[in-house]
Amino acid sequence: MTRFALLALFLSLAAPVLADDARDRGCAATTAIVAEAVATRAKGTTQAQALKALLAGDVDAKYIAAVGPLVDWVYTLPQDQLTNEAVAAYNDACLAQIR
């Protein structure tokens, strides 16, 4: 019984850490999508071409549904905001939502 209690305690303490790690990976994955969309748009690629290129890339299947809205968002940014600062701001906002 003591082993079971210790295991239950360990799992209850580890679960939030594991959840945070998964969320961090989610932010990293979606930030990579934003970074690629920013770089693609900065090169003058159309929104439709950027979407097609990202969907044909190596995006994890779990994040395919996020590609469209993220590309849409990037294409609303003014041209002067197509920088690494926009990517960092997205990442910061994503991480802030999970903490």
**Inter-residue contact 82 to 38 (CB < 8 Å):** yes
Which tokens sit at 57?
């890339």
pLDDT tens for the chain, 99 residues: list them: 444 444 344 444 444 443 456 667 899 999 999 999 999 999 999 999 999 999 999 999 999 999 999 999 999 999 999 999 999 999 999 999 987
Q: How far apart are CA 99 and CA 50, in angstroms?
A: 31
Domain limits of the chain?
A: 20-98
- What pTM does this model have? 0.77
